[in-house]
């Protein structure tokens, strides 16, 4: 596959540029709350019982075209790696007007590799709705696997 997008952790210099992407999910979110979330709320030390990373997909010109959050629940980090260990993806946004499918495909390819690296048996993408952001910032547990989409990872 010809790589048209680079997927990488959200760096401090891109936090403000990623704000319109997250606002598409949570229109009432203000910039200061987003900055605080990126700075404090989702570090590797954990948040909501999960530790995770915000990733962005950039096109060759550097424009942000997608955003996702990938996390491992605390019990998955501490317990043995197994088929039951699942990479949680609370937020997955592909926002390109011209190539939404391409952005989504490359973010999924990245998440699959990331999940394999973290020795996960699958990826659980949460349903995107008005409660997604609230669930993430208010310490709610991940939704049941039946909510959203769970993708098994082969070739771990």
pLDDT digits (tens, 9 = 90+) for 144-153: 767 889 999 9
Amino acid 123: pLDDT: 94
CATH of the domain at 32: 3.40.630.30
Does residue 1 fall inside a structural domain?
no
The pLDDT tens digits of the residues spanning 83-121 come to 578 899 999 999 988 899 999 999 999 999 999 998 889
Percentage with pLDDT > 70 across the chain = 81
pLDDT digits (tens, 9 = 90+) for 1-23: 457 999 999 999 999 999 999 99
Q: What are the beta bridge partners of residue 66?
A: 57, 94
Does the predicted TM-score (pTM) go above 0.75?
yes
Please give the tally of structural domains in the chain. Answer: 1
Which residue segment(s) compose the domain that 61 sits in? 6-152
Give the neighbor-by-neighbor strand order of the sheet with 6-9. 6-9, 50-58, 64-73, 86-94, 122-125, 149-152
């Amino acid at each position: 596959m010809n790589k048209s997008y680079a997927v990488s952790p959200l760096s401090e210099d891109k936090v403000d540029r990623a704000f319109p992407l997250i606002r598409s999910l949570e229109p009432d979110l203000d910039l200061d709350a987003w900055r605080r979330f990126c700075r404090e709320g989702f570090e590797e030390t954990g948040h909501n019982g999960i530790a995770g990373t915000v990733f962005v997909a950039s096109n060759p010109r550097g424009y942000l075209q997608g955003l996702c959050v990938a996390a491992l629940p605390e019990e998955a980090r501490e317990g043995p790696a197994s088929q039951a260990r699942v990479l949680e993806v609370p937020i997955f946004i592909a926002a390109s007007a011209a190539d939404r499918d391409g952005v989504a495909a490359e973010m999924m390819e990245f998440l699959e590799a990331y999940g394999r690296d973290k020795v996960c048996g699958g990826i659980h993408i949460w349903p995107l709705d008005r409660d997604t952001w609230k669930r993430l910032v208010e310490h709610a547990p991940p939704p049941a696997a039946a909510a959203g989409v769970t993708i098994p990872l082969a070739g771990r």
